[in-house]
Structure 1
Amino acid sequence: MSDQQPIIDVHAHVLLPQLEALVKERNPEGLADQKQTDLVRNGAASQQNSGLMIRERWPLLTDVGARLEHMGKSRVDVQIISPSPSHYYAFAGTQLATTLYQEANRLVREYIEQAPARFHGLGLAPLQHPQLMVAALEDAVLTRGLAGVEIGSYAPDPQGGTVELSDPRLDPFWVRAEELGAVIFLHPFGCPLEARLDKFYLANTVAQPAENAVALSHFIFAGVLDRFPALKLVAAHGGGYLPQVIGRSDHAWEVRPEARVCEHAPSSYLSRLWFDSLVHSSVELVHLAQSVGAYRVLLGSDFPFDMGSDYPVEAVEAAALGQGEREAILRLNAADLGLKSLALSGKTVLEGSES
């Protein structure tokens, strides 16, 4: 290995079968209802194909050896591992949700300990219960030594409606995340457009970038970054549609009084957020770097799902970016996010490793 910083992938998942077994034992009705909702949202064809994909990629999702072998082929040195978003279980009540985030955080820690020089981890925080979010974050960061937590784009509110990232009940969570310097990884799972997306895998290809755009818009327009400017929020899938059409948000902020809650034009906040590189297009990656700044884009693969990138480093290298921009995305920006100690410790061990 050279004396460069290691290449760090911030968007990689692990499947935790123990969690689903726990949910099946504690709330089988809720789990069955979620599976039925997933069927409605995705459609039978997509559900079947997704099942085949999971079975095919099961070793990559669960086995450390298979993961490390693929990382060697894809030239990724370090992965920041988060639970599969299928583990959100947003229907879980407070008691079960507490058990689930504690178990998820423990299992992620246990997984990454199998190769601590190659992995760091993110835990879970139950967005449907804002009052539990601080405890979940502290459990992940302080108890388990993880970099932060993964959250969805919204969650059903047990009292009715939804919990959005603009919800003032999340303010204590943002406060604590800022204090801890924790990474908050925004990764959608599910979209309330329901059956309109049940063909052609629209539940993923359209819903995921749309959900990113909605969640980030709530976050920006509500002025969360005005109140908590040091937050480290990383948006999966390149932030979805929002960076591509941010001018429309700026125009609304200019002409609509109800949209002028944040202190500055929405586009100005893009350079204060972080985005992964997973946009599946060299042209779109260049546009993302231009919109948010290349220093705010991080390598992301969505490993090992089929809608991810098996060779994310090659995808970044294929884009019409400057060499400095590519190096920033692949290696340097993760250190600026606060993962410098991880990168350096990984580099030290990796120098003596062939993998």
Structure 2
Amino acid sequence: MTGPAVDVHAHLLLPEVEALVAGQVGLAHARALDARRNGPKALSVNGPMVAARVPLLTDPAARLAAMDAQGVDVQLVSPSPSHYHYWADEETARKVWEAAHTATAAHCAAAPERLRGLGLIPLQHPHLAVEALDHALSLGLLGVELSSHAPGVELSAPALEPFWSRAAETGAVLFLHPFGCTLDERLDRWYLSNTVGQPAENAVALSHLIFSGVLDRHPGLKLIAAHGGGYLPTHIGRSDHAWRVRPDARGCAHEPSSYLRRLYFDSLVHDPHVLRELVRAAGADRVLLGSDFPFDMGTEDPLAALTEAGLPPADHAAVRSTNAIALLGI
């Protein structure tokens, strides 16, 4: 265990971004939709939960102390998905990504050997995505975070082709992290909006990338799927079957399962059996340590969760350290 432990799934709160959008009508509508999708009980828990974690989400010193306690050497820090603001018009969207990139870069600059950052793109405005990516890279961020979809925009949308091309060309890291779920009120109790909604959104988004041929056209993409890729990696056999028997499912050149080895996945699946299956399905060189730091749906001890999976030593070391070192250029 000589290499650094690298956590690729850790978040940051950005008061600068929220100050920009405060009071806007679009924000009020987005919050109303979020309330409808999550339900009142979830919202009553979310507020105090986030409030208790504000120091960890904003103060580099508090973050580093928590990392030391976990035994994590390096974090890849991404803005909280609540900062996507995919309702924003073009002018507001540009202000959001510029503020997010500047603040994230400043946070990581407090400990550049231990913190690396990701920016945002305005997924609702695909024609601006390349500009936003380039801005993030210009400030020393490693890439950008994006959700599973934006209103009217799937990841398979032709309008995103220039973005995928630029990301592959630059070697940018892309972190796929859903926010919200289109199943709406069906998931508005028992926190199903997150426990079921997030894995479902990941599976849908990755399926769009696979079946549409995005990964055929851009094989060099460095895309990490949060939450172990959701339901897709452990149920990929159904996708393979559809590809074999249904002509309308032949949008990609090869069986869908083969594309798992072109993607990356974090280890945050909350079950050692599922983590072992993820490693089997995607390959030990495609799974990275992830914690969802510091939220309650993450793990406070990502290294213990990894150890519990009982992977062979070489696979354990790959997930803990070496895969991320290679991918992030640490």
How far did residue 193 of structure 1 move? 1.1
How far did residue 320 of structure 1 move? 2.2
Q: For each residue in 1:271-322, what CA deviation from the matched residue of structure 2 results, as whole angstroms up to 9, or x when unmatched?
A: 1100000000011100100010011000000000000011101100111210
Cα separation, 2, equivalents of 1:18 and 1:139: 17
User: What are the equivalent positions in structure 2 for 1:127-166 lying under 5 Å apart?
Assistant: 127-141=123-137, 143-156=138-151, 162-166=152-156
TM value normalised by structure 2: 0.99
Equivalence for 1:257: 247
- Residues 1:175 and 2:194 aligned together: no
Residue 216 of structure 2: which of 215, 226, 230 is its match? 226
Q: For each residue in 1:315-348, what CA deviation from the matched residue of structure 2 results, as whole angstroms up to 9, or x when unmatched?
A: 00111210111000001001231x23x2xxxxxx
- Residues 1:5 and 2:3 aligned together: yes
User: What are the equivalent positions in structure 2 for 1:176-255 lying under 5 Å apart?
Assistant: 176-255=166-245
Describe the SS at the equivalent of 1:81.
strand
- Residues 1:46 and 2:42 aligned together: yes
Q: For each residue in 1:221-264, what CA deviation from the matched residue of structure 2 results, as whole angstroms up to 9, or x when unmatched?
A: 01111111111010000000000100000011111111101000
User: Conserved in 1, the CA contact under 8 Å of 2:20 and 2:95?
Assistant: no
Cα separation, 2, equivalents of 1:66 and 1:104: 20
User: What are the equivalent positions in structure 2 for 1:264-279 lying under 5 Å apart?
Assistant: 264-279=254-269
How far did residue 113 of structure 1 move? 0.5
User: What are the equivalent positions in structure 2 for 1:270-349 lying under 5 Å apart?
Assistant: 270-337=260-327, 339-340=328-329, 342=330
How far did residue 181 of structure 1 move? 0.3
Cα separation, 1, equivalents of 2:163 and 2:16: 27
Alignment length, in residue pairs? 330
Identity of aligned residues (%): 57
Cα separation, 1, equivalents of 2:103 and 2:58: 11
Code of the residue aligned with 1:293 in structure 2: it is G
How far did residue 18 of structure 1 move? 1.5
User: What are the equivalent positions in structure 2 for 1:61-76 lying under 5 Å apart?
Assistant: 61-76=57-72
Code of the residue aligned with 1:103 in structure 2: it is A
Code of the residue aligned with 2:236 in structure 1: it is I
Code of the residue aligned with 2:244 in structure 1: it is E
Cα separation, 1, equivalents of 2:140 and 2:59: 21
Cα separation, 1, equivalents of 2:267 and 2:153: 27
Cα separation, 1, equivalents of 2:65 and 2:257: 40
How far did residue 103 of structure 1 move? 1.0
Code of the residue aligned with 2:140 in structure 1: it is G
Code of the residue aligned with 2:257 in structure 1: it is S
Cα separation, 2, equivalents of 1:238 and 1:20: 29
- Residues 1:37 and 2:42 aligned together: no
Q: For each residue in 1:161-183, what CA deviation from the matched residue of structure 2 results, as whole angstroms up to 9, or x when unmatched?
A: x2111111111001100110000
Code of the residue aligned with 2:6 in structure 1: it is I
Provide the alpha-carbon RMSD of the alignment.
0.9
List structure 1 segments (4+ residues) > 2 angstroms apart after TM superposition: none
Cα separation, 2, equivalents of 1:102 and 1:219: 27
Cα separation, 2, equivalents of 1:266 and 1:168: 20
Code of the residue aligned with 1:78 in structure 2: it is V
| Unpaired runs of at least 5, structure 1 | 157-161, 343-355
Code of the residue aligned with 1:47 in structure 2: it is L
- Residues 1:117 and 2:107 aligned together: no
TM value normalised by structure 1: 0.92
Cα separation, 2, equivalents of 1:187 and 1:30: 22
Describe the SS at the equivalent of 1:245.
helix
Code of the residue aligned with 2:125 in structure 1: it is H
Residue 90 of structure 2: which of 71, 91, 94 is its match? 94
Cα separation, 2, equivalents of 1:35 and 1:90: 12
Residue 18 of structure 1: which of 16, 21, 46 is its match? 16
